[in-house]
Structure 1
Amino acid sequence: MANASGAEDTGVRRVRLGGVRRFIADRMMESLGTAAQLSFHGEADASRLLALRASWKTEGKATGIEDCLIACFARALASQPDLNGTAGADEILLSPTVDIAVAIAAPDGLKTPVIRNVEQKSAEAIGAERKDLVARAFAGKLQVSEMKGGSATISNLGNSRVQHFTPILNSGQMVLLGIGAITSRLALGEGGAIRERKMMGLSLTVDHRVVDGEPAARLLTRICEEIETFDPAA
Structure 2
Amino acid sequence: MIEVKVPELAESVTEGTVAEWLKQPGDYVEKGEDILELETDKVNVEISAEESGVLKETLAESGDTVKVGDVIAKIDANGEAGAGGEDQSASTDAPKTEEPKQEEVKEVEEAKSNNETPSRPIASPAARKLAREKGIDLNDISARDPLGRIRQEDIVEHEQKSQAVKSQPKEEKKETPNDDPAKPVERIRMSRRRQTIAKRLVEAQQTAAMLTTFNEVDMTNLMDLRKRRKDKFLDDNGVKLGFMSFFTKAVIGALKKYPYVNAEIQGDEIVLKKFYDIGVAVSTEEGLVVPVVRDADRLDFAGIEKEIGNLADKAHSKKLGLNDLQGGSFTITNGGVFGSLWSTPILNAPQVGILGMHTIQWRPVAIDKDNFENRPMMYIALSYDHRIIDGKDAVGFLVKVKELIEDPESLLLEG
TM > 0.5 fold call: yes
Give matches, 1:87-126, under 5 Å: 87-126=265-304
Q: Secondary structure at the match of 2:211?
A: strand
SS at match of 2:337: coil
Corresponding residue SS for 1:209? coil
* Of 223, 226, 229, the match for 2:407: 229
TM-score of the aligned structures, taking structure 1 as reference length:
0.91
Aligned with residue 184 of structure 2, among 1, 6, 11: 11
Q: Residue 96 and residue 198 in structure 1: after superposition, are their counterparts in 2 closer, same or farther (change >3 A)?
A: same
The 1:139/1:76 distance shift into structure 2, 3 A limit, reads: same
Given the superposition, is the C-alpha separation of residues 11 and 74 from structure 1 closer, same or farther in structure 2, using an over 3 Å criterion?
A: same
**Preserved contact between residue 358 and residue 379 of structure 2 (Cα < 8 Å):** yes
Are 1:78 and 2:249 matched, yes or no?
no
Task: Tell me which of 186, 194, 207 is aligned to 1:21.
Answer: 194
8 Å CA contact retained: 1:163, 1:202: no
Of 160-169 and 103-112, the range deviating more from structure 2: 160-169
Flag as ranges the 4+ runs of structure 1 deviating above 6 A: none
Query: Which structure would you say has the larger RCO, counting Cα contacts within 8 Å and 6 or more residues apart?
Result: 1
Deviations 1:3-39 (A, max 9, x none): xx88233311111123211111111112112101100
Aligned to 2:86: none
Q: Which moved more, 1:52-61 or 1:116-125?
A: 52-61
Give the structure with higher Rg (CA).
Answer: 2
Q: 2-side partners of 1:112 and 1:136: how far apart?
A: 12
Q: Specify the alignment match of 1:58 in structure 2.
A: 231
2:387 is aligned with 1:209 = yes
Q: How has the CA–CA distance of structure 1 residues 19 and 163 changed in structure 2, closer, same or farther, with 3 Å as cutoff?
A: same
Is 1:46–2:219 an aligned residue pair?
yes
Deviation at 1:191, TM superposition (A): 10
- Matched residue of 1:150: which SS? coil
TM-aligned CA deviation for residue 194 of structure 1: 4.1
Deviation at 1:159, TM superposition (A): 2.3
Q: How far is the alpha carbon of 1:190 from its aligned partner? A: 7.4
Cα pair 2:260 2:388 within 8 Å, conserved: no
CA spacing shift, 1:6–1:42, aligned 2, 3 Å? closer
The alpha-carbon distance between structure 1 residues 160 and 106, as it changes in their structure 2 partners (threshold 3 A), is closer
Partner of 2:352: 174
* TM-score normalised by structure 2 residue count: 0.53
Q: Answer whether contact 1:177 1:203 (CA < 8 A) is retained.
A: yes
2:278–2:329: 8 Å Cα contact kept in structure 1?
Answer: yes
Aligned residues: 230
Contact 1:41-1:164 within 8 A present in 2 as well: no
1:139 is the counterpart of 2:317: yes
Measure the CA separation in 1 of the matches of 2:313 and 2:366.
42
Unaligned stretches of 5+ residues in structure 1:
none
1:195 aligned onto 2:366:
no
Query: Compared with structure 1, are the counterparts of its residues 172 and 198 closer, same or farther at alpha carbon in structure 2 (3 Å cutoff)?
Result: same
| Structure 2 equivalent of residue 35 of structure 1 | 208
Please state whether the residue corresponding to 2:305 is helix, strand or coil.
helix
RMSD: 2.0
Contact between 1:122 and 1:233, CA under 8 Å: does it hold in 2? no
CA distance in 2, matches of 1:13, 1:205: 35
Distance 1:210 1:190 in 2: 38
Structure 2, unaligned runs of 5 or more: 1-175, 235-239
- Residue 184 of structure 1 contacts residue 198 of structure 1 at CA under 8 Å; is this kept in 2? yes
Q: Is the 8 A contact 2:233 2:241 kept in 1?
A: no
Q: Deviations over 1:130-173 (max 9, x none)?
A: 00000000010111111111111000012233222111000111
